[in-house]
Structures are given as structure tokens and as C-alpha cells.
Amino acid sequence: MDEMVFPDIVTAAIPVFVGLITLELMAWRAKGVGDYEARDSAASLIMGLGSQIAPLLGGTAIVTAVFFAVYEVRLTTIPNTWWAVILCFVVDDFRYYWWHRVSHERRWFWASHVIHHSSQHYNLTTALRQTWTGGILGSILFKAPLVFLGFHPMMLVFVSGLNLVYQFWIHTETIDRMGPFEWVFNTPSHHRVHHATNPRYLDANYAGTLIIWDRMFGTFVREDETEKPRYGIVKNLGTFNPLIISFHEWIGIFRDVAGSKSWREAVGYMVGPPGWSPDGSRMTSKAIKARWERVRSQNLDQGLNERLDTLSPVGAEPSVGRAPAE
């Protein structure tokens, strides 16, 4: 490896995280903007701490070993230079988009990622509500190809950390729209949409740093000022217990697979979209959107009929085109 040294950017940023959370809390208290609940924040922060400890149980060692083994058979060698770091950041951000999208669309990955979405609050502590599981498979499947291309593993770890640090500040309601910056970069507004459970906002804005990937692949949704996001998951949790937060979806998968009547069902429960069931009795995000469209059009029809009834009561003849009675 060349002389370039890559610092542990995530650990270095922790004091900044605490400082910004304190500022956001003050803003929440002073101006009423933002969104805090003490136990919810405690759960998020404990999840964050756990996410730093969990990899030490073996995940880091396994992923490191795989990365360096893959690096030995790399296609080419990309030098450790500043331009390579920028290139690696962009390529890794592209990698992040797809990893994130798969994490929402496939239950096996969702079981880890759901933790980050399990709070009904949206503030800077939510950013730290991170998973304790899923690091090994996610890293090997999605990051190892970049090592194979020739990026040094340490460079990849550094830019991934940078991406994570970038995403911290966008978990807030205290910052509104950001003008042209939003054309290219992920912002609080874009990410509020991503965390919302409003049907119109589901499955949108998977970006890490650059929102361009969502714009390119058709998953971009703009925050609608007339529809405030409601955060959480479509079936919100009933607990602040970090152990249940961490493992509830894994337990759900285990129960479903154990009760499966066939291999097809078992596989479907594991790698189908979240909410998949063999008889369609549960709701995937597509089904939730379809239901929302159906109810909305019914309500529109009903509203239109009521309006027509008001304008033209049953039995009354329409007055359009007639001369006014004298």
C-alpha cells in the first residue's frame, strides 16, 4: 500500500454527532421544530453503540480477511491518490444506492436494515439507530466487488465511513429545502421522504450522498409540502427494547420459515419483498400503494358525487342552459 493513511472517520466524528444532537435538541425546545422522545432517543443511541460493538464479535475479522483475499486477485491496482479517493467515493456511493435498495426490497436484508427505520421520530439520534446484524453478507456481496476492481480495502472503508458521516446531518426536520444543492446531493428533505411511511413516499430516495442515482433509476420522490411525512415502518413496533428492535424481523423470518409448507414458501419468506406471503394476506409496499390509490380514488369519487349532489339535488332539474325563471 502507498503512503496514504486513512483515518477512522466515524469514530472521529462522534463528538461532532453529540454536539449537533445537543444543538438540535435546543432548537426543538426553543422553536418547536424537530421531534424528540427521550426513550426513543435512548433506544436509537444504544442501537448505535451496539452497532459499533457487534462487528468486534467476528464480523470485522471475517470481512477484513475476505477483502484482503479478494485484493490479492484484483483486476488492476488503483493507486492511493486523492483522485482515486474521489473516484472510490462516487463508485461506493453507487454501491450504497443498490445495497440500500436491496435492503428495502428483500426481506433478508430488510431484517437488518429495518432497525434504522423503526423509530417513529426523525432526528439526529435516528441516524445512529443502526443494525447489529447484516454487516458480513452485505459487505461481502456489495463491497468486495469494488476491492476486486482494485480499490484498496482501507480506502473503501474510509469512503464508506465518509458516506455514513455525510448521512448523519440529513436526519433532521430542522432544515427545510436547500435549493439547487438538492439537485445533486441527498438532503434532509429527500431523506425525510425515504423515512416516511406515507404510501406516496414508500420505496423512494435510497441515495447515500448523491441523489442522482435515484433520479437516474426512477426512485426519486420529492417531498410534498402538502403531505407531511409520518415516520417509522408500516407496522410500527410496540417497544423501545433494543434486543427486540434488533431481532424482531429475524424472529419473524424464523417463525415464517418454520411454519412454511414448502421450500418455495420458505424461500419466499426469506428473500421475497418484506410483507410477502404465499396467499397474499400480508401487504408488501406495492400492495400498500395500490390500496392507497384505490381508497383515494374512492374518496375522490365519493367527494365528487357529494359535490354533484349539493349542486344538483336528486329530483331537481339542471338549470344549465335554461333561462332564469321570472
Partner 1 sequence: MTGNLYLDLLISLGGIGFVVGLAALLGAGEPILVTEENARDRVAFDEPDFIADNWFVDTRGKGALGIGKGIGGEAAEAVVVFRLGDRLATRRFDATNHSILPISGGLRVVLGDVSKGHVDLFLPSRDLVEALFDGLKRKTR
Position among 55, 150, 252, 278 found at the interface with partner 1 (CB under 8 A): 252
Written as nine digits, the cell of 159 is: 469512503
Angle between helices 59-72 and 135-142 (to 10 degrees): 10
Binder to partner 1 among 177, 222, 230, 264 (CB under 8 A)?
Answer: 230
State which residue, 52 or 182, has the beta carbon closest to partner 1: 52
The C-alpha cell that represents 287 in the structure block? 400492495
**Is the CB of 130 or the CB of 186 nearer to partner 1?**
130
CB of 75 to partner 1, least distance (A): 36
Taking CB under 8 A as the rule, which mask of x and - marks residues 6-45 in contact with partner 1?
-----x--x---x--xx--xx-xx------xxxxxxx--x
Q: Which is nearer to partner 1, 52 or 64 (CB)?
A: 52
Which residue(s) pair with 210 in the sheet?
185
Q: DSSP of 33-77, one letter per residue?
A: -S---HHHHHHHHHHHHHHHHGGGGTHHHHHHHHHHHHHHT-SS-
Min separation Cβ 256 and partner 1, Å: 11
Phi, psi angle pair for 240, to nearest 5°: -105, 0
Alpha helical stretches, state H, the chain: 9-31, 38-53, 59-72, 82-105, 107-117, 124-127, 135-142, 144-149, 153-168, 181-184, 188-195, 212-217, 242-258, 263-271, 285-311
Q: Which range in 72-80, 93-101, 137-145, 243-251 contacts partner 1 by CB under 8 A?
A: 243-251
Stretch that binds partner 1, among 47-55, 95-103, 134-142, 315-323 (CB under 8 A): 47-55
Closest approach, Cβ 191 to partner 1, in A, equals: 19
CB of 59 to partner 1, least distance (A): 16
**Amino acid found at 6:** F
Q: Which amino acid is at 107?
A: R
The residue (of 91 and 257) whose beta carbon lies closer to partner 1 is 257
Q: Using an 8 Å Cβ cutoff, are 125 and 38 in contact?
A: no
Per-residue binder mask for partner 1 (CB under 8 A), 123-162, x = binder: --x-------------------------------------
Supply 198's cell numbers: 406515507
DSSP symbol at 196:
B
Q: Does residue 164 bind partner 1 (CB under 8 A)?
A: no
Q: How many C-beta atoms surround the C-beta of residue 58 within 10 A?
A: 10
Which spans of this chain sit near partner 1 (rule: CB under 8 A)?
11, 14, 18, 21-22, 25-26, 28-29, 36-42, 45-46, 49, 52-53, 56, 120-121, 125, 198, 230, 232, 234-241, 244-245, 248, 251-252, 291-292, 294-295
